[in-house]
A and B are shown apart, each in its own frame.
Chain A
Amino acid sequence: MSIRERLSGNEAAATAMRQINPDVVAAFPITPSTEIPQYFSTFVSNGTVDTEFVAVESEHSAMSACIGAEAAGARAMTATSANGLSLMWEMIYIASSMRLPIVMSLVNRAVSGPLNIHNDHSDAMGVRDAGWIMLFSENNQEAYDNLIMAHRIAENKDVLLPLMVCQDGFITSHSIENIELIEDEKVKEFVGKYKPEHYLLNDKEKIAMGPLDVQTYLFEHKYQQANAMRNAKKVIAEVSEEFEKMTGRKYSFFEEYKMEDAEIVIVCMNSTAGTTKYVVDSLREKGVKAGLLKVRMFRPFPAEEIAKALSKAKAVAVLDKSDSVNGVGGALYTDVTSAMYVNGVNVPMVNYIYGIGGRDTTSYDIEGVYNDLMEIVKSGKVDNPYRYFGVRREK
């Protein structure tokens, strides 16, 4: 029987890590992810896990230590947020290009400046092209479940890419909700032992890792990496299916909430999906055909599947919790719109930048978006697709 608990998102992530019992955890504290290594280090002190905990002096070193450990043949994990991830940036690319399946818990927070410790997705969006698999989580349960699935995906021989599990800083990381945990033994069995094919501490095989890659070779290695990301899609689907068999909890590339006959649809990620479901339910009671598409798998991006899922909608709003500051719209919006174009789906689409720096996102805000979508359906026109809600502006 699974275990009923009530945990914060950070506690949920730390619990998943305890059950995974990795060989190495190297981390540096940064709000709002600090509690994850904090809780985990108590597991280390209490002897609940066998992990070597490396208390490094910076996030650059945290990722470097994870790379070293993983290259040596160990299973390594870390956790960070915002500027911590920014400081890791150089090593983020090295981890993925060395094809080391490191797993990170990323508790999303605004990247400075101006200095702000609250939630948005600017940290994750900054590394979206770094070659990491990126899974987003609506609540503590999903953050936990995604972490339990992470190693099976990342360590698959057709993938071998690092993976980050994202959740919203404070909104889910610090709020306590009900959660259903899997028994320790079942997790251990599901995650399995890490058996890398090539690693530095293997005395049966000579190896040099991360050598100089000149003009004649680097392109091919990048192509291999891109292939691995394409392969990840299938593996994520398989692992999620196996996870469903164990827990009864279904995970797809994205969640479709009341989408069967939806005419106006919001696309978003992480905790905002919870608020949106509440609004969808209340609109449905009034007979409005509202729906939600919540992206779980952001990298690899399920372009074809999203285009298909949105093909019957009459108007779509994509919500971005990070402004790409590029003059055209947020990252999720540009990914979704290009997915639609390439797959020949033409639906009026708008983008909303919202929730920046922890700005509260209320059900009224989301209702406002659905009202705008109804207006677009009625008029058949999109005046300006690059919009905002929640920002103070002169009327």
Chain B
Amino acid sequence: MEKITPNTPAEKMTIAGNIYEAGNSLNFKTGDWRSVKPIYISEKCKQCGLCFPVCPDDAIPVNKEQKREDFNYDYCKGCGVCAKVCPFGAIEMK
């Protein structure tokens, strides 16, 4: 599929804005909706695994060792749910 950009004329755009590829929400970065930001304090983190399942987006990456890494701010909207569930104070909202 030819990439559609803000310069693509109407005739070259797909009908009704259909997108013929999967997983395309990755291209829509929503991090700038954020007004407060979670800070990951790795030394307090016990890798208990409670935070990443509650993230409504995909802002807490988990690596192959099943360990969480620092926030992906491209998608974090700053909702603070992760900070609320953390039993160890390893996430602070700023």
Residue numbers of A with Cβ under 8 A of B are 97-99, 160, 198, 205-213, 216-217, 220-221, 223-224, 227
- Any A CB within 8 A of the CB of B18: yes
Among B8, B16, B22, contact of A210 (Cβ-Cβ < 8 Å): B16
Q: How many cross-chain pairs have Cβ atoms below 8 Å apart between A and B?
A: 49
B20 touches A99 (CB 8 A): no
| A207 and B20 contact, CB distance less than 8 A | yes
Residues of B within 8 A of A160 (CB): 15
State which size class the interface on B falls in. Answer: 10 to 19
B20–A220 CB distance below 8 A: no
Chain B at the A interface: SS class: loop
A155: shortest Cβ distance to chain B, in Å? 13
Q: What residues of chain B lie closer than 8 Å to A209, measured between beta carbons? A: 16, 18
Pick 11 A–B contacts, CB within 8 A, sort by A.
A206-B20, A206-B21, A208-B18, A209-B16, A211-B19, A211-B24, A213-B17, A217-B17, A220-B9, A221-B10, A221-B17
- Least CB distance from B66 to A in Å reads 29
Min distance, Cβ A88 to any Cβ of chain B, angstroms: 19
Assess whether B6 is in contact with A205, with CB atoms less than 8 Å apart: no
Interface residues of B in 16-60 (CB under 8 A from A): 16-22, 24, 28
- With a cutoff of 8 Å between Cβ atoms, the chain B residues found around residue A220 in the complex are 8-10, 13
B10 pairs with A205, CB closer than 8 A = no
CB-CB under 8 A from B8, the residues of chain A are 220
Q: In whole angstroms, how far apart are the Cα atoms of A207 and B22 in the complex?
A: 7
Q: Which partner residue on chain B sits nearest A100 by CB separation?
A: B16
Please report the C-alpha to C-alpha distance between residue A223 and residue B11 in the assembled complex, in whole angstroms.
Answer: 9
* B10: min CB distance to chain A, Å: 4
Q: Contact check, A208 vs B9: say whether CB atoms are below 8 A apart.
A: no
Which residue of the partner chain A has the closest CB to B24?
A208
CB pair B15–A208 under 8 Å, yes or no, is no
Q: Which of B9, B18, B28 contacts A207 (CB 8 A)?
A: B18
